[in-house]
Amino acid sequence: MSAVSKAKSTASKEAPKHKKKRVSKPRSRLTRDAILEMFVKLADDRPNPETELEYNSPFTLVVAVALSAQATDVGVNKATRLLFAVADTPQAMLALGEAGVADYIKTIGLWRNKAKNVVALSKMIIDDFGGQVPQTREELVLLPGVGRKTANVVLNEAFGQPTIAVDTHIFRVSNRTGLAPGNNPDQVEDLLERVVPETFKKGAHHWLILHGRYVCVARKPKCDMCAIYDLCKFKEKTA
């Protein structure tokens, strides 16, 4: 070994080893008992929660959820009632083509790109998945226009899997209440998956999104109507 190599070897042995800094994961501000009580109350308030998007199959649900990005469920339903009447299978949607799909969804934001994605995802479902909507998140997110949130909605609603799709409503409710604080949707989703009791995981997505849509609204939450008011950690309550 040369003198230079020996020097480098000695220096590396003597150099202090720096430990990797541990990054702590966000934690719920509620106790386990409080979280359980929260979902008991949300379940009592809305015993049978379900998506407000209209669909008749896993395929039409995928399309509806993909169209709902930056659009209201009411607006999407208005468009898809007519669209699904003529194309409610991947084959029919592919045959309709981009221009045909576009004619039905022009009232929805970003309709040009969404029409392109709907036709492309229909083709992929036919070519790569035998005409059936895949039932794993890893496969669903391969579809054009389908991200993690859309995949989670489809897995939960169509296939009964205990996934939680974090949209603006769930993000707001999770942070305000202290249930699952996080700086981004991925952090909130990860924490919700860890703290939501198993019994309530299937319906958690719907309870939280509906609570955010109709009670814990963005500008001025309707705290006087809130079923979980006494458990909520939000400092600026309106009642």
| Joined tokens for residue 150 | 């859309």
pLDDT band at 4 (very low <50, low <70, confident <90, very high): very low
Specify whether the CB–CB gap between 150 and 157 falls below 8 A: no
In this predicted structure, the answer to whether residue 1 has a pLDDT above a threshold of 70 is: no
The domain locations on the chain are 32-50+163-225, 58-157
What average pLDDT does the segment 138-149 reach? 97
Instruction: Give 145-193 pLDDT, tens digit per residue.
Output: 999 999 999 999 999 999 999 999 999 999 999 999 999 999 999 999 9
State the catalytic residues.
Answer: 149, 167
CATH code 1.10.1670.10 for 32-50+163-225: yes
What average pLDDT does the segment 31-53 reach? 95
The superfamily in CATH containing domain 58-157 is Hypothetical protein; domain 2 (1.10.340.30)
pLDDT band at 134 (very low <50, low <70, confident <90, very high): very high
Instruction: Give 70-89 pLDDT, tens digit per residue.
Output: 899 999 999 999 999 999 99
Q: Which residues contact 214 (CB under 8 A, 6 or more apart)?
A: 222
CA angle centred on 44, ends 40 and 50, rounded to 5°: 100
- 226 labelled ligand-binding: yes
% of the chain at pLDDT higher than 70: 90
Q: Rounded to an integer, what distance in angstroms lies between the CA atom of residue 140 and that of residue 138?
A: 6
